[in-house]
Structure 1
Amino acid sequence: MTVSLQAAIERHGLLEAGAPSGSAAALVLLVHGRGATAASMLPLADALALPGLCYLAPQADGNSWYPQSFMAPTAANEPFLGNALTRLSTIITDLLASGVTPAGLGVVGFSQGACLASETVLRNPRAYGFIGILSGGAIGPLGTPRDYPGSLGGARVFLGCSDHDPHIPLARVRETTGTFTRMGASVTERIYPGSSHGINADELSHLREGLLAMTARHP
């Protein structure tokens, strides 16, 4: 079913920043973390300072996508986790149905939003223009199978995290990097010694580089 881009934005209550969605060179979904808001992600548009990109941000009910740690047994996060995964994948499906191509779509998440973004794109693999995972990783307890069907060939991925993040074990970041790589994505991982749970200047540089490459491939 074909839908208009504006109808998709309104249907999902997405906040918008940057270039107007109807004339943007590419779209970037920004997925907020636990306790945050869609509006809190929009300043990234100013920080990245990339004209021509439209940034769209969904809002989680109660400011959280799921209640427990992303490493908790899956049942402990249901039905909220399943609902969140369905919601983000439906947003992506509707944006693509409006005529946006996978190469013209970026997905960037921070913290809980990075975990949700990781799991969503791994379960819905396409040649996305860019995937930015900031302090996050694939969802599930230790030993969760990572045999996702499909390919991320053509997608460019950046993962950044502290080496001692209080919420994101380094081993899970490494595992997520390996999963993206096995699925064919072009992956850059950066681990920051002694860094805090936040977005640093080097991560912004990698985001800017990845999103610039996306617009270059999708003029």
Structure 2
Amino acid sequence: MLVGFSQGASVVAEFVRRRPERHGGVFLLSGGIPGGPEDELAVTGQLEGTPAFVGYGADDSRIDLERVVETARALEDAGAEVTERRYPGVGHEVTDDEFEVIGALLESLGAE
């Protein structure tokens, strides 16, 4: 399981971009693959079967929201099972819902 918030989410996203293989879970909270429009975004490999969650606040002024959305698409294109949630009225913070999503996945893995 790879989990990160803010800059930590960017580190996790870049790690997954560079090592695209099946992971137990990828959770990006308020972050995405670092860089600008000219920087590589594609995930060149297979994340087939990797559950991924991308959560971010709609009012987050500290991150490039478009880049976060593009990161979610790049993960999907590489085969990850992506859940993306945009939280209206939320800034640069983690929500209770995000903790619930992570907890639910952890519980489901324990049941297998």
Q: TM-score, structure 2 length as denominator?
A: 0.92
Matched length: 112
Aligned match of 1:167 in 59, 62, 78?
Answer: 62
Partner of 1:186: 81
Match of 2:106 in 1: 211
Which of 132, 147, 153 matches 2:27? 132
Tell me the secondary structure at the aligned position of residue 53 of structure 2.
strand
1:154·1:186 contact (CA, 8 Å) conserved in 2?
yes
Gaps of 5+ in 2: none
Q: Could you tell me whether the CA contact under 8 Å between 1:130 and 1:157 is conserved in 2?
A: yes
Structure 2: which amino acid aligns with 1:125? P
Q: Which has the higher contact order (CA 8 A, sep 6+)?
A: 2
Secondary structure in 2 matching 1:142: coil
Inter-partner Cα distance in structure 2 for 1:127 and 1:120:
13
Aligned-pair distance for 1:147? 3.1
In our comparison, the structure showing a higher alpha carbon Rg is 1
Counterpart-to-counterpart distance in 2, 1:175 and 1:108: 18
Q: Matches of 2:42 and 2:53 in 1, distance apart?
A: 20
**What is the aligned counterpart of 1:117 among 6, 12, 17?**
12
Shift in alpha-carbon separation, 1:198–1:190, aligned structure 2, 3 A = same
| 2-structure distance, mates of 1:132, 1:163 | 17
